[in-house]
Amino acid sequence: MEGLQGEYERALRSYLRQGGESSLKQAYELGRRALSGGQGILDMIALHQQSVEKILGDTQQIGVLHQAGDFFVELMSPFEMTHRAFGEANDTLRRLNESLESETRRIARALHDESGQLLAAVHIQLRQMARGLSPGAQFNLTEIETLLEQVEQQLRNFSHELRPTVLDDYGLVPALQTLAEKFSKRFDLPVNVDGKVNPRLTRSVEAAMYRVTQEALNNVARHAKASRVSIRLWRIPGEFHCCIRDDGVGFDPAAVAKGSRNTLGLLGIRERLTVLGGTLEIESAPQQGTELRIFVPVEA
């Protein structure tokens, strides 16, 4: 940062003496270098302020502040363009997620309703066929009906996993309670869901939070070796909070940040929250369990 400070001050002095597009181009290049070096907007504001203060200590030129402002605007152009590009990409990703959720909802309902109607028709046809058959053949048809019932149950399960109707009908908390019950039965792992979210969140936030919790539970099942999980949800003015805690083996968050182990689940959670403008905090340590703290801004 000290080297950048010196370069910026020299370039700014040159611009104040001579002006011209070449000096502004130099400011733009300095901005690109600072951005690629991980400098933030506040860092650049401080750098500019320090340079202007040093220059004003040496000169009282009329209009120096105005010229310095023009130079500073050019310096910040790469940051502005990156910020806009990020915002546009975020908007595109949010629309894509909403479109995917809408399509998933349509497929889930079609899978549940249409397959149910077809299987019901098959059951009726089998019962009609059974009337004129021998007891042995009727027994075979009964076994076929049993298999069809298992297929029907599997289709219902797939439909609910794709998009639980309880999420649309009753909201996030009942949907997570249903998810927790199925997860507990499948993995023999108690999951407690506690909290109220009133008024209801928007459909996009509810869908994202359901997927986030689903992914968090999948991570617990794959890695945590936990004996219990707790999920707490609450809403305060302007923000939704969710805390997911397990008592499993834990991990080193710093090592995960460096990519030393499979982090796709956490990356997926972060991406979904980023689209909502939310944040994820992770507290964990080996043999100390893991806690995910989620914060999402919400409209009044």
Per DSSP, the residues of the chain read -HHHHHHHHHHHHHHHHH--HHHHHHHHHHHHHHHHTT--HHHHHHHHHHHHHHHHTT---TTHHHHHHHHHHHHHHHHHHHHHHHHHHHHHHHHHHHHHHHHHHHHHHHHHHHHHHHHHHHHHHHHHHHTTS-HHHHHHHHHHHHHHHHHHHHHHHHHHHH--HHHHHH-HHHHHHHHHHHHHHHHT--EEEEE--SSPPPHHHHHHHHHHHHHHHHHIIIII--S-EEEEEEEETTEEEEEEEE-S----HHHHHTTSS--HHHHHHHHHHHHHT-EEEEEE-TTS-EEEEEEEE---
Which of 121, 139, 162 delimits the end of a domain? 162
Mean pLDDT throughout 168-174?
A: 90
- Both 32 and 145 in a single domain? no
Spatial distance between the Cα atoms of 141 and 127, rounded to a whole number of angstroms: 8
- Both 102 and 83 in a single domain? no
Which tokens hold the place of 120?
Answer: 């019901």
The answer on pLDDT for 158 being more than 60 is: yes
The answer on pLDDT for 60 being more than 60 is: no
The answer on pLDDT for 110 being more than 70 is: no
Tell me the whole-structure pTM to 2 decimals.
Answer: 0.59
Lowest average pLDDT, out of 38-47, 244-253, 257-266, 285-294, goes to 257-266
Mean pLDDT throughout 216-221?
A: 93
Mean pLDDT throughout 58-70?
A: 63
Q: Categorize the per-residue pLDDT at 143 as very low, low, confident or very high, splitting at 50, 70 and 90.
A: confident
Question: What is the extent of the structural domain holding 12?
Answer: 2-91
Spatial distance between the Cα atoms of 200 and 146, rounded to a whole number of angstroms: 41
Spatial distance between the Cα atoms of 6 and 13, rounded to a whole number of angstroms: 11
The answer on pLDDT for 62 being more than 60 is: no
Which of 162, 196, 218 delimits the end of a domain? 162
* Residue 207 belongs to domain with CATH number: 3.30.565.10
The answer on pLDDT for 300 being more than 60 is: no
Find which of 22-36, 79-93, 284-298 is predicted with most confidence, using mean pLDDT: 284-298
* Residue with the larger pLDDT of the pair 98 and 298: 298
User: What is residue 75's predicted lDDT score, i.e. its pLDDT?
Assistant: 77
The answer on pLDDT for 221 being more than 90 is: yes
Helix axes 264-276, 64-130, angle to 10 degrees: 110
Mean pLDDT throughout 14-32?
A: 82
- Both 192 and 273 in a single domain? yes
Lowest average pLDDT, out of 1-10, 97-106, 218-227, goes to 97-106
- Both 125 and 191 in a single domain? no
- Both 239 and 207 in a single domain? yes
Q: What value does the mean pLDDT of the chain take?
A: 81
User: What is residue 45's predicted lDDT score, i.e. its pLDDT?
Assistant: 80
The answer on pLDDT for 144 being more than 70 is: yes
| Counted domains in the chain | 3
- Both 87 and 100 in a single domain? no
User: How far is CA 169 from each of CA 11, 64, 172, 243, rounded to the nearest angstrom?
Assistant: 61, 63, 9, 23
Q: Residue 236 forms beta bridges with which residues?
A: 239
User: What is residue 68's predicted lDDT score, i.e. its pLDDT?
Assistant: 74
- Both 174 and 293 in a single domain? yes
Q: Categorize the per-residue pLDDT at 177 as very low, low, confident or very high, splitting at 50, 70 and 90.
A: very high
The answer on pLDDT for 90 being more than 70 is: no
- Both 173 and 293 in a single domain? yes
Q: Residue 229 forms beta bridges with which residues?
A: 191, 246
- Both 128 and 112 in a single domain? yes
Q: Could you tell me the end-to-end alpha-carbon distance of the chain, in angstroms, rounded to an integer? A: 41
Inter-residue contact 193 to 177 (CB < 8 Å): yes
